[in-house]
Amino acid sequence: MAKRVSASNVTAYYGGFKAIENINLTVEPKTVTALIGPSGCGKSTFLRSINRMHEVLPGARVEGSLTIDDQDIYDRDVDVTAVRRTIGMVFQRPNPFPTMSIFENVVAGLKLNGVRKKSILEDAAEKALRAANLWGEVKDRLGKPGAGLSGGQQQRLCIARTIAVEPQVVLMDEPCSALDPISTLAIEDLMFQLKDKFTIIIVTHNMQQAARVSDRTAFFSIEKTGDPGRLIEYDNTQKIFSNPSVKKTEDYITGRFG
């Protein structure tokens, strides 16, 4: 249920602007990898290129190769919707479908895959909501609108929606930046549980969070505004936060820069 993600020489553009250049990194299955770095350094762009969401924006494109278990997701014959089903994504702001109930939100991905049978959908919804630690809070009001939940609950609902389709990899783009500390803690706990089944890659601005939840950390940075983002250092989280090999990483994590 989890796959290895490998990027080699990934370069991404927004129109004429080169946002990231020559990113090389491999993420092992069933681990949590944190992408950190100052604003505008391309960590979100890199994350979005892993499930081909980057190209949704007009003029955006990706060069280089990205593989999951040796299959190139940018291969011409690969169905982009299949890529996104295999590599799920949780966004910065909770974005449940406002017109759908909690239940409908969780099973939205399954319905897109053609699952119609009520009993299957119900089982899958319960399983996903339990995995997202939300079942106890919502089991009596599955028919209520998903947008009526609190921010932290909405984000867990979005995580449930993402894992309901049983992806191999889960990408999280600053999933806690719009949440209070208690909801943040709930989601960090959840990441610990989820990494038994999924490969997780998370972008975060919160370095304590990166240190708490991740096994490996990748530090991205830019020389100056307008330059493409580059991968500066990628290592075990413990090493990055205690004894980084690059001076720039040390400056960043100690707060001297960025």
Q: DSSP alpha helices (H): ranges in 28-97?
A: 43-50, 80-86
Task: Check residue 252 for interaction with another protein (CB under 8 A).
Answer: no
CB of 170 to another protein, least distance (A): 11
- The stretch among 15-23, 50-58, 60-68, 249-257 that binds another protein (CB under 8 A) is 50-58
CB of 188 to another protein, least distance (A): 21
Helix (H/G/I), strand (E/B), else coil: 68: strand
Q: Half-sphere exposure of 132 toward its Cβ, with a 13 Å CA cutoff?
A: 30
Task: Please select the residue that binds another protein; options are 15, 26, 56, 75, rule is CB under 8 A.
Answer: 56
Of 34, 45, 37, 44, nearest in space to 217 by CA:
34
CB of 157 to another protein, least distance (A): 11
- The stretch among 8-16, 83-91, 229-237, 243-251 that binds another protein (CB under 8 A) is 83-91
- 209: tokens are 């969070």
Residues 146-165 that bind another protein (CB under 8 A): 147-148, 158, 161-162, 165
CB of 85 to another protein, least distance (A): 3
| Cα dihedral sign, 131-85-83-184 | negative
Task: Check residue 61 for interaction with another protein (CB under 8 A).
Answer: no
- The stretch among 30-38, 98-106, 200-208, 239-247 that binds another protein (CB under 8 A) is 98-106
| Number of chain residues interacting with another protein (CB under 8 A) | 32
Contact between 104 and 97 (Cβ < 8 Å): yes
CB of 219 to another protein, least distance (A): 25
- Which residue spans within the chain are E strands per DSSP? 5-14, 17-27, 32-36, 60-68, 71-72, 87-90, 169-173, 199-203, 216-221, 230-236
- The stretch among 104-112, 123-131, 175-183, 236-244 that binds another protein (CB under 8 A) is 104-112
CB of 173 to another protein, least distance (A): 10
For residues 110 and 165, what is the distance between their CA atoms, to the nearest angstrom? 6
Of 32, 26, 56, 12, nearest in space to 190 by CA:
32
Residues 119-148 that bind another protein (CB under 8 A): 144-145, 147-148
Task: Check residue 91 for interaction with another protein (CB under 8 A).
Answer: yes
For residues 220 and 150, what is the distance between their CA atoms, to the nearest angstrom? 32
Nearer to another protein, 40 or 145 (CB): 145
Listed in sequence order, the residues at least 6 apart from 179 whose beta carbon sits closer than 8 Å to its beta carbon are 151, 152, 155, 187
CB of 71 to another protein, least distance (A): 16
Q: Which residues bind another protein (CB under 8 A)?
A: 51, 53, 56, 58, 81-85, 88-89, 91, 93, 95-101, 108-109, 112-113, 144-145, 147-148, 158, 161-162, 165
